[in-house]
Structure 1
Amino acid sequence: MTLLLPALQSPTGPAASQEAVRFGDLSLTYGRLAGASAALAARIADAGRVAVWATPTPETVIAVVAALRAGVPAVPLNPRTGASELAHILADSEPTVVLAGPDDVLPAALEKLRRVTVDARVETENPTGHVEHGGVEPGPESPALIVYTSGTTGPPKGAVLPRRAIAASLDALEDAWGWTGDDVLVHALPLFHVHGLILGVLGPLRRGGSLRHLGKFSPDGVARELGSGGTMLFGVPTMYHRLAEVLDAPAGSAGSAERDVLAGALAGARLLVSGSAALPVHDHERIAAATGRRVIERYGMTETLMNTGIRADGAPRPGTVGPPLAGVELRLAEEDGTVLDPAGAIGEVGEIQVRGPNLFTGYLNRPDATAAAHTADGWFRTGDVGTVDADGYVTIVGRKATDLIKSGGYKIGAGEIENVLLGHPGVREAAVTGEEDPDLGERVVAWVVAADPDSPPPAEELADHVAAQLAPHKRPRTVRYLDALPRNDLGKIMKRSLHA
């Protein structure tokens, strides 16, 4: 296997002075990041596993890169994780060291670990940036990261991600997006998960490009960084929704100047990418109308990294996540496991199953869960349901457990109803779920945040709006109004919390 991060292997000459990452006023060149990570790698080389207190800081970048270069599996920890969940993750992964910034205050559960402080402002004692591996890069199946799932159906499971999977996904995105060392990525994603850490940090570093992390998302920050050399923006739907809200400011209003600056910055970007959840078609259209630039989507998950993606040179189709990436096989299956014939399944809803070099090795300490997540012939059951069109473009309907509604003999995807609701001028946010119904089996329930809380659109009006654009059997039978939808750190709507 080639080097996972070749640009950090003893960089010299102009490459050493190129910016690798920037957080606010602190910038690390490739030379400085190589030196700092090499010095830290030497200090943790004997650790079985290391935990990383994954704040949105350059210290997290140094820590993860050092672990990768030392060949030591890293366990990124969400600083907002609750005490019981953190205790479970630590007991399951058994790290011996925790890497944290000098100002980080760690919870009591981490006190038993050896703390190694990472300070990005301190000059390295390893100016060559070279790491000794006995001359050998860790093998492709060596575990690189152990990333814990959200734990929606039980205690979080640690997905073991080998170096092979990281390299395969990032190289497939290089092919799909024309990603090069000249690209400057802008984002404000958390660094404890796949989107922000693997795509958002290791992606630029593998290509030899650079990252500008905003620390905290803001439309002003996006406009500033894209307007001063940024070429790519990664975000989640909540972020793009906020950008669309700014772009909607009418001419002559107090926000029109901010709108014009943001529109110009987005229009100048090479690539706008949304992920982690479906971006509503309404927001796609608002951004495209204001900037002339289409947002493209991709589809992945912790266990599989990236599965599909709209190509930079492909047709942008709002509402879809594109065809499978290079090396990824994808198929649909019925609930009983019957695989749908691709030729006859155009538009049919089925569970998405994938296989390829992008997949994880398994769940740490959970051979039972690993086996249950795979079919007998080796395909990974994603738990997501979707459709595939004649060109191979995938549309995600939602999660099998929460977004596939069986009503009156029909299989209904929550996602398409949500998109239609979001197109209604009186709706700011919307989620759709199914509830038990004695007549229909399940009825469609809409959870709505009104654009004007004092004058929400009537339930019957929303139901008729859906029926007119989709079909009568897809109309919401119940509409519930909320002040806000519950979301996690990546902006995904937590539908189980709605029913709770």
Structure 2
Amino acid sequence: MSAFFPALTAGADPGRIAVRCGADTLTYGDLARAARALADRIAGADRVAVWATPGAHTVVAVVAALLAGVPAVPLNPRTGERELAHVLGDSAPSAVLAGPDDVLPAGLDGVPRTDVDLTSAGAGSGPVPLPDGPDDPEAPALVVYTSGTTGPPKGVLLSRRAVAASLDALAGAWSWTADDVLVHALPLFHVHGLVLGVLGPLRRGGELRHLGAFSVEGVTRELGAGGGTMLFGVPTMYHRLADALAGDPALTGALAGARLLVSGSAALPVHDHERITAATGRTVVERYGMTETLMNTSVLPGGGPRPGTVGVPLAGVGLRLVDDDGSVLGAYDGETVGEVQVRGPNLFSGYLGRPEATAAAFDGDWFRTGDMAVRDPDGAVRLVGRRATDLIKSGGYKIGAGEIENALLDHPGVLEAAVTGEPDPDLGERIVAWVVPVDPGNPPTDAELAAHVAEALAPHKRPRVVRHLDALPRNDMGKILKKALPGAG
């Protein structure tokens, strides 16, 4: 697999910094030595689990697995007992790779532990010969588990081909090179933080700086004086950055100096786009992907602001919208809603041990994403929600929850918003808005919010019911968990 990481090969500069995570700094030579030593220890295993804490041990563990040709199964350190047992039983790893100071839960007692040793990184300073890894591009590189919102989590088999194709397509779209220094604080058990945020910069030969945990101060430091050029985040992070901009000239300068600001995993509200651009002159680039497909689309840097869209398909990715009856929708009118289907070299190979689920996920060679979207006249994709939870059929209209949520977030009295549908004897489904007000003592009225949405979008898209909450339930990536809303099914 050394061909996957050209900067780890003998011809590259071993003194160049590869990773900075907290107190740990590894050059490409350090990383090659530590990963090679670990790769030798796990060679021949069927699969290995990785206790994916946000640090250098996780980076070395995943790189070592790739070098050894052993599929890695990233484990969320915050996973509950039942889900951990499911993932372990489903993937049957030969060992769990962890930092020597990591305290593992009792659920991992039956899995042999292999500690990741960073001290071997200092055993020399010259180039390190690396194994080539398997020649088969279809060999699995990672098994990443889905969030399990529609049933037990499924193990998504991501091949070397899929990972390389997706990262190279992003490099083309974003002009991503070895000169870039990527800053992020994303979890390392998910494709956003691990594939894009770790394997991405290492494949390019650039530098990764992981903050360990997100903080405005950390972003300011690493993007400012630290010389970071790119920032990856999720909407919750960008919202906090937008809140801090007004009173923080150092943060403003740090964001303004970045070459690329990227948001993903959920839609970034238009209001946050506007606040960041107004303060820094920088637009936040949104991209669209999922575990099974890696990256599908991206807004292209250098163009005008495109809040509300996730851009156009990446090189090599085919994308179409399909109606309920299976017919392909050709309209690029910004209004016609269909399910997103994609195909290309970025797609996963299947669900581990689930051939029926794999077959059901495809329409021929097109993967059914379950995401609903419209396409603008220039081909840009605007996501409007998930088919299962965000498509509302009301009064004969197909309505995406996402656009209503963005409209609600434009109201000055709304801090957070989620939209769902519930049965209605007249409309079929009525639109329900779940709102966290800026001022709980003086929230906007139901009529005020309904009028605001009707004016911004259309009268049939206004919420018929408004329910107030103290906070919206979210997962580790900041996505709203609509099924956890009170009374939601």
TM bin (shorter chain) = over 0.9
1:45 matched to 2:43: yes
Given that residues 9 and 129 in structure 2 are in contact (C-alpha distance below 8 angstroms), is that contact kept between their aligned partners in structure 1? yes
Given that residues 34 and 129 in structure 1 are in contact (C-alpha distance below 8 angstroms), is that contact kept between their aligned partners in structure 2? yes
Given that residues 416 and 436 in structure 2 are in contact (C-alpha distance below 8 angstroms), is that contact kept between their aligned partners in structure 1? yes
**Which residue number corresponds to residue 260 of structure 1?**
249
Over 3 Å counting, the alpha-carbon distance change for 1:338 and 1:481 in structure 2 is same
Q: Secondary structure at the match of 1:203?
A: helix
- Offset of 1:130 from its aligned partner? 2.2
Q: 1:186 aligns with which of 183, 186, 200?
A: 183
Partner Cα distance (2:32, 2:414) in 1: 49
Partner Cα distance (2:288, 2:424) in 1: 32
Q: 1:439 aligns with which of 426, 432, 451?
A: 426
Partner Cα distance (1:262, 1:420) in 2: 27
Given that residues 11 and 129 in structure 1 are in contact (C-alpha distance below 8 angstroms), is that contact kept between their aligned partners in structure 2? no
Q: Secondary structure at the match of 1:16?
A: coil
Given that residues 22 and 55 in structure 2 are in contact (C-alpha distance below 8 angstroms), is that contact kept between their aligned partners in structure 1? no
Given that residues 74 and 145 in structure 1 are in contact (C-alpha distance below 8 angstroms), is that contact kept between their aligned partners in structure 2? yes
**Which residue number corresponds to residue 233 of structure 1?**
231
1:367 matched to 2:355: yes
Partner Cα distance (1:426, 1:402) in 2: 25
Given that residues 39 and 125 in structure 1 are in contact (C-alpha distance below 8 angstroms), is that contact kept between their aligned partners in structure 2? no
Q: 2:376 aligns with which of 384, 389, 393?
A: 389
1:420 matched to 2:419: no
- Offset of 1:11 from its aligned partner? 5.4
Partner Cα distance (2:303, 2:40) in 1: 44
1:169-184 equivalence runs, <5 A: 169-184=166-181
Q: 1:296 aligns with which of 259, 262, 285?
A: 285
Equivalent residue letter for 1:392: G
Given that residues 39 and 124 in structure 1 are in contact (C-alpha distance below 8 angstroms), is that contact kept between their aligned partners in structure 2? no
1:400-415 equivalence runs, <5 A: 400-415=387-402
Given that residues 37 and 120 in structure 2 are in contact (C-alpha distance below 8 angstroms), is that contact kept between their aligned partners in structure 1? no
Q: 1:109 aligns with which of 107, 110, 114?
A: 107
1:350 matched to 2:338: yes
Q: Secondary structure at the match of 1:17?
A: coil
**Which residue number corresponds to residue 296 of structure 2?**
307
Q: Deviations over 1:53-111 (max 9, x none)?
A: 00001000000000000000000000111111111111111101100011111112212
Partner Cα distance (2:23, 2:42) in 1: 28
Equivalent residue letter for 2:131: E
Equivalent residue letter for 1:91: G
Structure 1: 5+ residue stretches without partners: 250-255
> After the TM superposition, which parts of structure 1 deviate over 6 Å for at least 4 consecutive aligned residues?
none
Q: Which moved more, 1:115-124 or 1:35-44?
A: 115-124
Q: Secondary structure at the match of 1:397?
A: strand
Q: Deviations over 1:35-55 (max 9, x none)?
A: 100010000002110000000
Q: 1:337 aligns with which of 320, 326, 345?
A: 326
**Which residue number corresponds to residue 278 of structure 1?**
267
CA RMSD of aligned residues (A): 1.4
Q: Secondary structure at the match of 2:289?
A: strand
Q: Deviations over 1:361-412 (max 9, x none)?
A: 000000000000000x210000000011121100000101111110011111
Equivalences, count: 485
**Which residue number corresponds to residue 76 of structure 2?**
78
- Offset of 1:126 from its aligned partner? 7.4
**Which residue number corresponds to residue 7 of structure 2?**
7
Given that residues 99 and 118 in structure 1 are in contact (C-alpha distance below 8 angstroms), is that contact kept between their aligned partners in structure 2? yes
Partner Cα distance (1:261, 1:70) in 2: 43
- Offset of 1:129 from its aligned partner? 2.7
Partner Cα distance (2:377, 2:462) in 1: 27
Name the % identity: 70
Normalised TM-score (structure 2): 0.97
Partner Cα distance (1:312, 1:479) in 2: 37
Over 3 Å counting, the alpha-carbon distance change for 1:399 and 1:141 in structure 2 is same
Q: Secondary structure at the match of 2:362?
A: coil
Given that residues 2 and 131 in structure 2 are in contact (C-alpha distance below 8 angstroms), is that contact kept between their aligned partners in structure 1? no
Partner Cα distance (2:48, 2:324) in 1: 39
- Offset of 1:124 from its aligned partner? 5.2
**Which residue number corresponds to residue 253 of structure 1?**
none
Given that residues 3 and 137 in structure 1 are in contact (C-alpha distance below 8 angstroms), is that contact kept between their aligned partners in structure 2? no
Partner Cα distance (1:25, 1:107) in 2: 25
Given that residues 159 and 364 in structure 1 are in contact (C-alpha distance below 8 angstroms), is that contact kept between their aligned partners in structure 2? yes
Q: Deviations over 1:279-312 (max 9, x none)?
A: 0101100111111110010000000000000112
Q: 1:33 aligns with which of 31, 40, 46?
A: 31
Partner Cα distance (1:110, 1:129) in 2: 33
1:177-216 equivalence runs, <5 A: 177-216=174-213
- Offset of 1:17 from its aligned partner? 0.9
Equivalent residue letter for 2:310: V
Partner Cα distance (2:303, 2:344) in 1: 22
Given that residues 10 and 34 in structure 1 are in contact (C-alpha distance below 8 angstroms), is that contact kept between their aligned partners in structure 2? no
Given that residues 331 and 342 in structure 1 are in contact (C-alpha distance below 8 angstroms), is that contact kept between their aligned partners in structure 2? no
- Offset of 1:125 from its aligned partner? 5.0
Given that residues 39 and 126 in structure 1 are in contact (C-alpha distance below 8 angstroms), is that contact kept between their aligned partners in structure 2? no
